[in-house]
Each structure stands twice: as C-alpha cells, then as structure tokens.
Amino acid sequence: MQPIDDDVRSMLAFRDGDERAFDALFRRWAGPVLRYLERLVRDRAVAEELVQEAFLRVHRSRERYRPDARFSTWLYTIATNLARNEMRRPFRRALHESTDPEPGEAPRELASTGPAVDDVAHARRTSAELERALEELPERQRAALWLSAVEGLSYAEVAQALETTEKSVKSLVHRARAGLVDRMAEAHPERGEA
C-alpha cells in the first residue's frame, strides 16, 4: 500500500464526516482535473460539467473509499471514465473527431514578464499549434501523455487511470511525445523546437 499522503488523509477525514476536508480536496484537485478533462473532451463547458460530476461521485462514494492508491489516481480514473462515456455519445464523437480549432479561442501566453511583441506573438502561435497537435493525437495517447508529463502521474498510476498496462502506457506516452515533437519541429524547423 502507498504511504498515506495529505489527500488520502483528507479523504479519510471526509469519510468520517468532515465536509471541509472535501472542500479542500476540491480546491486542490478541481483545477488539474478540469484541464485534463478539457484536453480529453475538448469542450470547456462539458469539462466543467464533468469535473462537478467527478466530485459528486467522490462525495457519494465516501463511505466506500479505501486508501488503496493515491487519491489523485482514483480521481483521474473517475474523470477518465466520465470523459470516455461522454465521448461515446454520438454527437460528442463527431465533435471529438473534428480537428477544427475552437473559433476565437485565444491561445495562452507562454511568457509572463514583459516579453517583446514578437515573442508574445510567437508564443501564442506556438501554443495554439501545440494545442491543435495535441487535439489530433489519439485519445489514449493524449490522456497518457497529459497524465504523465503534465499531471506527474507515474506509468503505474496512468495505467490504473486508463485501465491498461504499464508497458502500454510507456508506448502510448512515447508515441504521443514523439509525434508532437516531430510535428512541432516540422512547423518550426528554424527554431528546432518542440
């Protein structure tokens, strides 16, 4: 069994009736889960709805909770299953298969302190291109790379969240990473960047 971390302690306190512990878990994890879900379902409003649904399930399941894994792994497993169900819906599948970027969606800036105008423009362009390239990855590659590279889950934890093997996760993460790097290098050969 994993050592008990703060999240597990909070979840156990919540199981014993401490609602503030649940609030603390929500504030700690709702943001990361939201950005993960947004990458999976590619729709901000749907992702927000799914975040609420994920935490509702945590709330409902408190009496059955057992600290067998990190809280975050359990939460990402719930979130992944919700996203999969959402993407199985026919109209959602059509959206999911589309590769058109959201019209009018402003890419986020990469630089934060007084960059030159050219750098800001370039960062925005790169960011938008990366978002688009990410969207075009197969769902499982995208999920595996995001959970590993951004959310910091181990391959074992990603495997649990995606209900697959560590070997498969290793391959999924590599294919996603190599595909994105190659695509970004093609888009910006002069900078040789990712």
Partner 1 sequence: MRDDEILADERLSAYVDGELDADARAEVEALLRRSPEARVRLDRFLALDRSLRELAPAELPPGLEASLRRRIDAEPAARPRRAGPPRRLRRVALAGFAAAAAAALALALLPRGQSRQEDPPLARQAPPPELARRDPAPEQLARQAPPRPPTEELPTPEDLPTAAELLLVSDLEAPEDLEVIELLDWLGELDALDRGGRG
Return the number of the residue (136 or 193) whose C-beta is nearest partner 1: 193
- Binding segment for partner 1 (CB under 8 A), chosen from 51-59, 66-74, 81-89, 91-99, is 51-59
Smallest distance, partner 1 to C-beta of residue 87, A: 19
Give dist(CA 8, CA 69) in Å, integer: 8
Contact between 27 and partner 1 by CB under 8 A: the answer reads yes
- Interface positions, 62-101, toward partner 1 (CB under 8 A): 62-63
Q: Which residues contact 23 (CB under 8 A, 6 or more apart)?
A: none
In terms of Cα–Cα distance, which of 135, 115, 116, 122 is closest to 42? Answer: 135
Q: Which residues contact 169 (CB under 8 A, 6 or more apart)?
A: 144, 148, 155, 158, 159, 162
Smallest distance, partner 1 to C-beta of residue 44, A: 8
Residue with tokens 């910091």: 152
In terms of Cα–Cα distance, which of 176, 169, 185 is closest to 126? Answer: 185
Task: Give me the residues that bind partner 1 (CB under 8 A), please.
Answer: 23, 26-27, 30-32, 34-35, 38-39, 48, 51-52, 55-56, 59-60, 62-63, 108, 110, 126-127, 130-131, 134, 145-146, 148-150, 154-155, 170-171, 173-174, 177-178, 180-181, 184-185, 192-194
